[in-house]
Amino acid sequence: MSRNRLIGTAAAILAAAGVALFAGSNLPPDIGPLLSAAGAADTSAPLYYQDPDGKPLYSPTPKKTEDGRDYVAVPATADTPDQPATMNAAKNSAKAQSDRDRKVKYYRNPMGLPDTSPVPKKDSMGMDYIPVYEGDDSDDGSIKLSPGKIQRTGVKSEPVVRRLVKSLIRAPGTVQEDERRVSVVALRFEGFVESVANVTTGDHVHKGQPLMNVYSPALSSAAAEYLSAINAGATGMELKGARRRLENLATPEPAIRELERNREILLSIPWLAPQDGEILERNAVNGMRAGPGDVLFRIADHRLVWVLIDVAERDLAQVAIGTKVTVRPRALASQSFGGTVALIYPHLNAATRTARIRIEVPNPDELLRPEMYVDAEIEVGTPGPVLAVPESAVLDSGSRQAVLVDKGEGRFEPREVKLGRRGGGFVEVAQGVSEGEAVVTSANFLIDAESNLKAALKGFSEANEKPAEPAAGSMEARP
């Protein structure tokens, strides 16, 4: 029998009964190898078809060139640039053997839909369902990845440790006078300004420094009454009452002591500055008539000033009375001043959704001036070390937050957590993880996607274990 005739006979027999029927047949010695080659050719379907001249032209189905030549079929075992066919065959064989040693739990939809099957099947596009083996999933909700997938996706983990979580709230503001450190000079009686000292607006004065000389009939009458009581040797309530009348007229204490010592009523009395500070306003002029309550001088002490800033509503909860603040005046770029939060105003600005905060700043050299622009930095955060993870480790869906705990050996467990303050690239974890546990900080969204898919498939699979009637219009009844 010729070689070509043997091949034809073998092909006919294979087509009629299949290769398996010849496993135990007594065939001529030279037919066996030919049958094996024919069977291998049938079971190795081409991956694609390539131009016969080696051009980068491909087709998923048989095709001819413009000159009528057939495209060359490329089998699944064809050599690739980095793996010869023998290596591919060995790997495929080892994987197949490994898969045979494991038990398939179910088959899941290849497109990620929540659809499973207890037996192999195809989807509507002809794609095979993917087997899920025992051990690939677990009851604790964790997901297991192969070392190769972990390396390709760049998964990185970091232990949970205790650390300070600090952040800065930055806001612009302006310097303002401390309202408690502003005073006015006014008379409690009708009088005349006999003369004004050589001071004017902007000058710095000290407490007790003369500002002007004042004459008043009411003041002279009170002084004469007190002097009469002294000369008459009055004691007790009578003497004290006469002195109290001078005090009620706001007579400076040095003028009263001078009257007690010299026993002489002066025509005009020096009126003194009530405090240290700058003269903001001077209304007194020589010879003017002043009525009760007329403001003659306004003086402010700038050794302590306020800085008023507006903080966004979302940051308000992090600010507390006594929080340290650093103030940097824009006019003094190289200098900074320290202050503390003294007051959080009780109302929000409805238009800007901000709250006003008052900061008290010592200003001993009086470099900070009212209405000066400043930039404030409020240091907020945890008072002591707390459990914290990098912000990149948190998966935030808006309604819930979670991290992926690295349990080792390629297994990762999604864990819901409760978060606290944020700052410096870290976030406080108030509940959900323990110190020393490792959390995924890189590529965690990829693991989360696979975990969510696994959970959906598992829940769908468990639901399918219960008997159910076929849905209307369904292609098959699920067990």
Banded model confidence at residue 51, pLDDT cuts 50, 70, 90: confident
What does the alpha-carbon distance between residue 89 and residue 83 come to, in Å, rounded to a whole number? 10
DSSP string, 104-145: EEEEE-TT--S-EESS--B-TTSPBPEEEETTSB-TTS-EE-
368 by Cβ neighbours in 10 Å (0-12 / 13-18 / 19+) ranks as buried
Task: Give the residue, 193 or 76, on which the prediction is more confident.
Answer: 193
Sign of the alpha-carbon dihedral angle for 186, 187, 192, 196 = negative
Q: Which of 110-119, 190-199, 302-311 has the lowest mean pLDDT?
A: 110-119
CATH class of the 168-178+302-381 domain in this structure: mainly beta
Average pLDDT over residues 442-466: 58
Chain CA centroid to CA 12, Å: 73
pLDDT at 9: 42
Full-model pTM: 0.56
Q: Which of 65-74, 113-122, 387-396 has the lowest mean pLDDT?
A: 113-122
* Residues with Cβ within 8 Å of residue 43, at least 6 apart in sequence: none
pLDDT at 397: 77
Sheet holding 72-75, edge to edge: 58-59, 46-50, 72-75
What are the tens digits of pLDDT across the range 360-382?
A: 999 999 999 999 999 999 988 77
The domain ranges of the chain are 3-75, 85-133, 143-165+385-464, 168-178+302-381, 188-292
pLDDT at 147: 73
pLDDT at 59: 81
CATH code matching the domain that covers 188-292, chosen among 2.40.50.100, 2.40.50.140, 2.30.22.10, 2.40.110.10: 2.40.50.100
pLDDT at 77: 53
What are the tens digits of pLDDT across the range 320-340?
A: 999 999 999 999 988 999 999
Q: Which of 128-142, 208-222, 252-266 has the lowest mean pLDDT?
A: 128-142
Q: What is the mean pLDDT of the chain?
A: 79
Three-state DSSP string of 60-108? CCCCECCCCCECEEEECCCCCCCCCHHHHHHHHHHHHHHHHHCCEEEEE
Banded model confidence at residue 34, pLDDT cuts 50, 70, 90: very low
Fold of 143-165+385-464: 2.40.420
CA dihedral 344, 428, 446, 152 (to 10 degrees): 130
Residue 308, pLDDT above cutoff 80? yes
Task: Give the residue, 444 or 191, on which the prediction is more confident.
Answer: 191
The token pair at 436 is 């020393």
Average pLDDT over residues 81-92: 47
**Locate tokens 């050589």: which residue?**
198
What does the alpha-carbon distance between residue 144 and residue 138 come to, in Å, rounded to a whole number? 9
What are the tens digits of pLDDT across the range 229-284?
A: 998 888 888 899 999 999 999 999 999 999 999 999 888 999 999 999 999 999 99
Residue 463, pLDDT above cutoff 60? no
pLDDT at 432: 86
- Whether 147 and 409 have beta carbons less than 8 Å apart is answered as no
pLDDT at 3: 43
Strands (E), 363-433: 373-381, 386-390, 395-396, 401-408, 411-423, 426-431
